């Protein structure tokens, strides 16, 4: 097996007239990584993906794949393949013809096309539905067909643009497990754009959190989650409280907060809401400076010493759980 190439973005810029959609981002993706570009809509994550794919011109900077500058190559010559947000399956072609489309464009003969397409459909478990039209498939089946179509060109990098957003929540969880499994099997780099933090955490080896056309923070998923560097990242990843303390802003995980008697803790607080979530109880409290924090307690801890709305409590945490934030 040949060595899979790595993907590097070098000061990548995308301008639309006056507006800057992507503002000089640089990042190195190791080969065989599952990476998520995470951020709110309009943060530039889709433009970044489309520049890697070649569907958007690069205003400045470069996209390097295995050290080769592919910034100005047409999409099909880059070694990347893209899976589109609504799958973009050709509605007039059967699933098999959709999958075999790129081979047909290359002029591969019909027999080879069919057998290669069948192999790909086998991989995604869609062989029995090969003769159907896209309109006759469910959302999950359409996604598998789109995956097979993207993978038939044997790309080194698969680019997925919000691949799960068109699915219902149940199917989303199922498909995300399948994506992860497929990526492990193929061992190629997946770059997955999403605005869902749960999706990113569940799938990614590495996450790149973007905001306002820039990278806020990037790195191994756990590293980023455990130590967010900015208030934006802490809030966007969820499960964190951003608290302004006299020494500056800090991030504390919701499950790191401990309830103490009033007066015997770092912060005095008043309970404002209690939400039972089965295994956990989310307790929202207001703290000085008109701020709200959420403490996630295990149901046992909470019901051993239940609190009422309006009750005065104290909030405490271990010093190493607090992360100082920049901005």
In angstroms, rounded to a whole number, what is the distance separating the alpha carbons of residues 172 and 176?
6
In angstroms, rounded to a whole number, what is the distance separating the alpha carbons of residues 275 and 283?
6
Closest C-alpha among 234, 215, 211 to residue 224? 234
The nearer residue to other proteins, 84 or 202, going by C-beta atoms, is: 84
Closest C-alpha among 130, 127, 69 to residue 96? 130
For the residues of 24-77, what is the DSSP string, one character each? EEEEEEPTT-EEEEE--TTSSHHHHHHHHHTSS--SEEEEEETTEE-TTS-GGG
In angstroms, rounded to a whole number, what is the distance separating the alpha carbons of residues 162 and 166?
8
In angstroms, rounded to a whole number, what is the distance separating the alpha carbons of residues 162 and 141?
16
| Residues near other proteins (CB under 8 A) | 53, 55, 74-77, 81-82, 84-86, 88-92, 101-102, 104-106, 149-150, 153
The nearer residue to other proteins, 16 or 276, going by C-beta atoms, is: 16
The nearer residue to other proteins, 96 or 149, going by C-beta atoms, is: 149
Which structure tokens are listed for 83? 């899976």
The nearer residue to other proteins, 145 or 208, going by C-beta atoms, is: 145
Closest C-alpha among 264, 262, 265, 258 to residue 241? 258
Which structure tokens are listed for 317? 């945490």
Least Å distance, CB 188 to other proteins, is 16
Least Å distance, CB 312 to other proteins, is 56
The nearer residue to other proteins, 105 or 273, going by C-beta atoms, is: 105
The nearer residue to other proteins, 86 or 165, going by C-beta atoms, is: 86
The nearer residue to other proteins, 106 or 223, going by C-beta atoms, is: 106
In angstroms, rounded to a whole number, what is the distance separating the alpha carbons of residues 274 and 295?
10
Least Å distance, CB 315 to other proteins, is 49
Least Å distance, CB 317 to other proteins, is 47
Least Å distance, CB 269 to other proteins, is 49
The nearer residue to other proteins, 35 or 158, going by C-beta atoms, is: 158
In angstroms, rounded to a whole number, what is the distance separating the alpha carbons of residues 160 and 34?
11
Up-side HSE of residue 105: CA atoms within 13 Å toward CB?
Answer: 9
Least Å distance, CB 15 to other proteins, is 16
CA distances from 306 to 28, 174, 261, 276, 300 (A): 49, 36, 12, 12, 10
Least Å distance, CB 202 to other proteins, is 26
For the residues of 268-299, what is the DSSP string, one character each? EEEEEEEEE-SSEEEEEEEETTTEEEEEEEEH
User: 210, 218 in Cβ contact below 8 A?
Assistant: no
The nearer residue to other proteins, 85 or 118, going by C-beta atoms, is: 85
List 159's β-bridge partners, or say none: 82, 191
Least Å distance, CB 75 to other proteins, is 5
Least Å distance, CB 313 to other proteins, is 52
């Amino acid at each position: 097996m040949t060595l899979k190439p790595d993907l590097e973005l070098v000061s990548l810029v995308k301008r639309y007239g006056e507006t800057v959609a992507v503002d000089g981002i640089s990042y190195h993706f190791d080969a065989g990584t599952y990476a998520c570009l995470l951020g709110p809509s309009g943060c530039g994550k889709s433009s970044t993906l489309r520049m890697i794919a070649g569907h958007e011109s690069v205003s400045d900077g470069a996209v390097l794949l295995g050290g080769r500058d592919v910034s100005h190559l047409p999409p099909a010559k880059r070694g990347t393949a893209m899976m589109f947000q609504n799958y973009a399956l050709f509605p007039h072609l059967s699933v098999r013809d959709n999958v075999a489309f790129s081979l047909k464009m290359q002029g591969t003969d019909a027999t080879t096309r069919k057998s290669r397409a069948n192999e790909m459909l086998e991989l995604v478990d869609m062989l029995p539905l090969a003769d159907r039209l896209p309109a006759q498939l469910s959302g999950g089946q359409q996604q598998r067909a789109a995956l097979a179509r993207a993978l038939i060109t044997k790309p080194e990098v698969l680019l997925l643009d919000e691949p799960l957003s068109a699915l219902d929540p149940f199917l989303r969880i199922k498909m995300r497990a399948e994506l992860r499994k497929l990526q492990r099997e193929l061992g190629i780099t997946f770059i997955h754009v999403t605005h869902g933090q749960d999706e990113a955490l569940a799938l990614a080896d590495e996450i790149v959190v973007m905001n306002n056309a820039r990278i806020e923070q990037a790195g191994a998923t756990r590293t980023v989650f455990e130590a967010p560097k900015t208030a934006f990242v802490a809030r966007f990843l969820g499960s964190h409280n951003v608290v302004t303390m006299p020494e500056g802003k800090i991030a504390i995980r919701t499950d790191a907060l401990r309830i103490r008697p009033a007066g015997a803790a770092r912060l005095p607080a008043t309970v404002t809401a209690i939400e039972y979530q089965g295994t956990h109880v989310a307790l929202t409290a207001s703290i000085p400076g008109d701020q709200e924090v959420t403490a996630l307690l295990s149901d046992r801890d909470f019901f051993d010493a239940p609190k009422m709305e309006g009750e005065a409590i104290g909030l405490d945490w271990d010093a190493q759980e607090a992360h100082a934030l920049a901005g």
